[in-house]
Structure 1
């Protein structure tokens, strides 16, 4: 919505709904305009109140065209179509709770909506109502017969049904209920220390991400740092010193973040992460083993890698910009503590402090 509704709108609508349901059940419309005028006074005219005015005029076979023309001029058909669409969502109660003003404070699948659909269907089927083309068209819309409404609209107007470029609702809410996948790319550099082993190197990641509707955001997956800008280091293997130049470091783990700000277009959140990290050394061996299964003997072999293994902890801050649907683009800046010398076989002292800056794409 462009402007928030005035204070008291929700309560005014709730009071009106309690009176409108029995009124439309019995088709007793003597006080209808008074009730709708009260809602309009507190909330401003809406699709909801104009829809009920049109339905009353149809049921009483009074002049409808000025009301129908106003309904189209305000783009209300598109608003109602989206209301019908959201009404069949599994999480419709949560969707309504987070977007009350966009739904004019009328809960999705409220009894008044059911009455509008039933009475509109009855109008279409009754032989006593001689509906004009414009009246039949909008009655199909009120009855939630959207395909027939769209076809008739295009036929009567010789034009395609206009589509809204941006929804009046918080369209991203449903998309934020879904988990996603994030692809990371950036650079990591050592901070502090003299003549670091690992200097500035490219990093990449693939993470499975939680839904964005929660305040807590978590990811789990793998990241790799390509050690293209590093120096040699010494590694002790079976009493022999090996000089190593690592090709890459692999991390497996996850992170947890907490949203500080979310206006659907932008999300800001700090995050902490912990990963098991293995830095490749190129050292490996084949291990043979003898096995018995029942009375049969067989030999098997496996490869054992002698990598530098440690834990990586991270503290970062990320921001995401919504593109469309489930798609976001983001930027993350992080500090990493990686105590390589936890590995007793590592002879060279490798400093543990690093910083990274990464772009990511979530879909």
Structure 2
């Protein structure tokens, strides 16, 4: 346990005040002894639940050992930033759930409709670190925003940001789970925050709603089945048995968060960076499949979607169109979907062609 000085306590108060000015919602401090998390991490990796995310294993246990990842680290400052768009209506979760029933519309996760959070948080965390140096003097530090082998959720929980929900995301009683996390590893001993209790109780809403049953047990996620993983991290062919379960999700999935009772307390973002872009919300799948690579790059500029590239974008949209074709009762709309897929049937990418062909095969009413 770190024994803090009055100056250290005052410094943390200063950090919190500065963080608020930068748009952060909460600041916490964790120690660096994460040994108790190592068995769970190793078991998760040994089961192969990380899928193609090989970076999860490339750094070994450094993920759970901050002082090895960044030598000299004594404390970790954790930061939380709400991202629910400021324009979100009071019944935002009900509206988002309703959009999942509109099979002809492509659904992008809420967090991905605005600016790339990596860029937003990294810049703000750097400004926060600069402010700490001005207040406290020379400081060894490193900023992280979901960009290195860091156990973000574990550090967030240990620093009082919330508790780990059964879907494995961090939950906060005052803010639900609609927030981003970031960290600053520092070589200065700071007073640690007090962790909070788990408040999930007997609720299993997140587990019950998951379309692909990726939450294989409470607090255990098989990423290989997660729609967010399949549409973002996975670079190859999407498993045949999972395609029909993906519905109209084309980038990420918010289902487990939309049904979580704690998200009735989700807070609106204070930064305009997370406001949704028109091209990424309420768009028909046929229109999205017709995007040229130039249009894809234009509409996703500065956002997180761009990193998957046009090829995987078309793969994802093709799967969603296949699911829409199978369920759409209107013959005119089915024909439009069929025609849109046919326009991509001879695409130069074998990956795109494969998923387009699968999608066409879901249309059992047209030749």
Task: Judge same fold: TM > 0.5, yes or no.
Answer: no
Q: TM-score, normalised by structure 2?
A: 0.21
- Structure ranking higher on relative contact order (CA contacts 8 Å, 6+ apart): 2
Larger Rg: 1
Q: TM-score, normalised by structure 1?
A: 0.21
